[in-house]
Each structure stands twice: as structure tokens, then as C-alpha cells.
Structure 1
Amino acid sequence: MAELLFHPVFFNSLAFVLGLCLGSFYNVCVHRYLVGQSVVRPGSHCPACGHVLSWWENIPVLSYVLLGAKCHSCKGKIHWRYPAVELLSGILALLFAIKFGPTAQWLTYMVFLGIFLVASFIDLDSFILPDILTYPAAILAMSTPLFLPVDWFETVLGGLCGAGIFLVLQQGYLRLRGIDALGTGDIKLMLSLGALVGLSLLPLMILLSALTALLVAVVYLRRPEGQGMRTAVPFGPFLCLGAVLTLLWGDRILNWIFLF
């Protein structure tokens, strides 16, 4: 049984399915934070009509497809966020399983992936990165050298420098332009993200975050509804994306950059 569990194909498949299921829970966390409900009660239900979901209406991604993106009871439209979070959670769990295998690193990163997914989608909807997520993430990230083969120096300085850089940027822009362009939540988030990627890869993480945010902004502004608009964009999701890309392929990306 142990050999089967640790077989790459089986473990990776299990990680993907687990990620999908966890994604369903992350959706609950996102929605109920936004509407001010408990994560525990009531049970899963349609936000529009209150219909209590049956087991077959709770299958990650598949239920969304089978139901035609509509509630079985009231026919109200199911938000695209639900399958997106589930699928993204499954894909990330799979990618980290492929890279780290059945190790303590994979388990640890699964915890952080959950926190960052929930925080990102809350930020997208409300421009808020909740303290209930950012503070525990920072404490846990700073503590990773206790149970992972990572360097204390890299971890602690990565977190402190990451948060410090964003604090300087926030205050500098505020003084020069009178605009609070970076939220305090982003600074708190950088404590955990910087600690996870480490001091050496911190510049790459920030670069990737900025580039992906810029790309999305340019694409949006080129669309008809985006032309002529000055729209605020939550940066938290892009910081999380930059950290994920760095954790998965940071060394490869650096090698590719230095080739040029």
C-alpha cells in the first residue's frame, strides 16, 4: 500500500483530486467571508434561494458542468468563481506534487496555497486581504525552517525585506502623489511570501508579480469597456501568483534570464 501511495502517478492523481475538493472548501471561505457568515454553518446552499445542496451538486467542477452553471432549484446562475477556484486549487496541488512529491514540503505548501487562494479571491472582490489570513501565514512562513530544509537567514530576511520594500513604496507614493497605491494588506502578505521564496529569489518574485499585473492591466485597458478608464487593480493575487511561479520554476526562470 505504501508503495502505491508513493508512486508518482498515484500520488499526483491523489493530489489533484484533493486539490479539487479543497477548492470547494476554499469557495465556502471566500463567499462567507464576503457576506459575513460562519464558515461552519449553515451547510452548503444556493446563495440566491437557500436550496441545500445534495452530494451530487457538490462535486467539484463536475457539478457546475452537469447543472449547466445554474442552481438546480431556482435556476439562478452559479458564479464562475466556484469552478475556477476548484480547478485552480487542483492544478496547483498537482504542480507542487510533481515538483516536491509526497514530502513535508508539499504538505506545507498545500497549507499556504489554500491561504493564498482564499486571500486572492477575497481581494479580487473586496480589495481586502484579511488579517485572519495574512498574520497566521506570516507566522507560519517565518517558522518554516523549523520543519523544512530551508535557511533561517533566507527565510527571515526574505519576509522582512519583502514587507519593508512594499512599506517604503507605499509611503513614498503616498508622500509624492497623495495616493495610497499599495494597501497595508499587501505589506502584511509580503511577510509570508518573501519568507517562502527567500531573500535570494525575492527580486524575481516581485518582478514576476509586477509583470503579470501589468500584462493583465494592459489587456483589460485594450478592451472596449476598459478604454479611458483608470481602474484600481488588487495586487494581492498577483503577488501570490509571482510567489507560486517562483517556488515552482524560480531557478529555471533565472537561468533563462541569465542566458540573455
Structure 2
Amino acid sequence: MFPAVFYSLAPALAAVVGLCVGSFYNVCIARYLSGESIVFPGSKCPVCGHRLRWWENIPLLSFVLLRGRCRGCQGNIHWRYPVVEALNGLWAFLLIHKFPLLPGAEMEWLALWSGYMLIGGILIIVSFIDLELYILPDVYVYPGILLTLAFAFFVVEPFHGAPTFKEALYGAGIGAGVFLALQRLYRLLKGHEGLGTGDIKLMLILGALVGWQGLPMMILVSAFSALLVSAVYMRRQQQGMQTMVPFGPFLSLGAMVYVVAGDLYWELVR
């Protein structure tokens, strides 16, 4: 049991933690792209090698203070860094509104919130790698599958609005099965791949995360956001319909939206 003011400040504190953890996710993304260890060397500019001081590593604030430029070479800091930090901070903030921290249930809530944060972190990491390399790396996807199923089995059962373990299993099986069928059908009709195997494996995470009931809304949000972004991108780049846009980030977005806003969906369809 904490002082009453703690429960009032919990959303803001959660957002700050999310920002800080998002900074580490940036390290995971950048080091995967460069092939370096996430432990060594320390944080540095990828262009000039300038070693970052502690005050150059403050989530979001350092980007603003440095005006989006490296202190060493004055090169632009990649837009990915503030976006990942902001997304993870927002995710942390929205989770605590979806699952409020209540007196007497602190440890159960911490397990739930931490689990969702870890799964969301994996989705953010693989999504931004997918945007750059058009792959969903197994080194993050496979642990994500195990983590999500374990999370559904050990943690979420007591909480209203979170799928049970059985619902998570059905969601993973149905989601991955539908995408596998779509992949085979597209290959049969077109003679080449239209949906990556990585997306099918990702659906094991996402289906387990939202449960079978959440799949329709998740896919709807994913498809709508993908079409919208693709249309804007193709118009700006003046490229045709053959432009390749990875679907993994949009699937992840749809699942995360369902986790924090699924109640609104059910209110609309009832």
C-alpha cells in the first residue's frame, strides 16, 4: 500500500519509465541494424562516433535541447529515436488507464503492466527493424511468442479485459492459420510471395496478445492504417502500386490499439 498521492501520479510515472525504456529499445534497434552488441560500445553517434554524455541521452528532452542534431558532427539525429521513445511512453501511459493501479493489488498490477510493456517493446523493436530491413528478426519474434503465451497463462487471468490463456491460444492459432492460408493462396494465384513468413510468426504473438475475439478489430485497424500510409507514401514518392510496404508494423499497431481501446470496439458492435 502506497500513499494516496502515488496512485494519482502513477500515470505520469509510468510514462517517464516508458520513455526511459524506449531509449533502450532504440539501442536494440540501432545495434541490430549495425550488427553491433547491445552492450558494447557505449552510446555514440552512428555517423561521427561521438560518445554521448549522460545529458545527451535523456529521452526526448535531449533531442529537443540538441535541436535534433549531433553535438559532434551537427548531423541530423534519426527521427526514429524520439518516435520510439514517445511511442513507448504513450504505451505505458495508456496501459495504466486501461488497467488502473488500485490499492491492495499493486503486485498483480505490476506483473500485468510489466508484461504488456515487455511485449509492446518487442513489437516496437521488430516493427522499426521491419521498416528498415523488411524482416521481422527471429531473435526477437521467438522470445516474443514464448513471453506472450507465458504472460497469458501466469498473469492475465485475474484481470477483466485481458484474454484468458485459452483465448490467447485460439487467437494465436487462428491468426497465424489465416495468414498462412493467405500466403499459400497468394502464392498459388500470383506465383510469388505476397506475405512474408515473418508476418505469420508475428501473428502468433499478436493473436495471443489480443485473443481470438480481438482479431477482427486488430486486422481492421492494421489494414486501414497500412492503406492510409501506403497511399500517402506512394503519392509523395510518385511511385506505383508495386511499392513494398512492410505489414508487420501495422499489425503490431492494430494489436496495441486493441489492447488499450478494445472496450470501445465492443461498445460499437453491440
RMSD: 1.5
1:253 matches 2:265: yes
Q: Secondary structure at the match of 2:212?
A: coil
Q: For residues 92 and 28 of structure 1, do their structure 2 counterparts lie closer, same or farther at Cα, with a shift above 3 Å needed?
A: same
Within 2, Cα distance between the matches of 1:257 and 1:117? 29
Deviation at 1:178, TM superposition (A): 1.6
Deviation at 1:191, TM superposition (A): 0.3
Within 1, Cα distance between the matches of 2:191 and 2:122? 32
Q: 2:116 aligns with which of 84, 97, 109?
A: 109
Deviation at 1:72, TM superposition (A): 0.6
Runs of 4+ aligned structure 1 residues displaced above 4 Å come to none
Aligned position for 2:2: 2
Aligned position for 1:85: 84
- Identity %, equivalent residues: 53
Contact 1:4 1:10 in 2 (8 A): no
Amino acid at match of 1:105: L
Amino acid at match of 1:234: P
Aligned position for 1:147: 155
Deviation at 1:5, TM superposition (A): 7.0
Structure 2 residue runs without a partner (length 5+): 102-108, 158-162
Aligned position for 1:20: 19
Mapping of residues 227-238 of structure 1, within 5 Å: 227-228=239-240, 230-238=242-250
Within 2, Cα distance between the matches of 1:153 and 1:94? 28
Deviation at 1:257, TM superposition (A): 4.0
Mapping of residues 1-260 of structure 1, within 5 Å: 2-4=2-4, 6-7=6-7, 9-102=8-101, 103=109, 104-143=111-150, 144-149=152-157, 150-223=163-236, 225-228=237-240, 230-258=242-270
Indicate the larger mover: 207-216 or 40-49. Answer: 207-216
Within 1, Cα distance between the matches of 2:5 and 2:154? 26
Within 2, Cα distance between the matches of 1:2 and 1:226? 56
Deviation at 1:229, TM superposition (A): 5.0
Within 2, Cα distance between the matches of 1:6 and 1:153? 35
Q: TM-score, normalised by structure 1?
A: 0.94
Within 2, Cα distance between the matches of 1:151 and 1:82? 35
Structure 1 residue runs without a partner (length 5+): none
Within 2, Cα distance between the matches of 1:5 and 1:181? 52
Within 2, Cα distance between the matches of 1:189 and 1:19? 23
Amino acid at match of 1:65: V
Deviation at 1:146, TM superposition (A): 2.1
Deviation at 1:256, TM superposition (A): 1.8
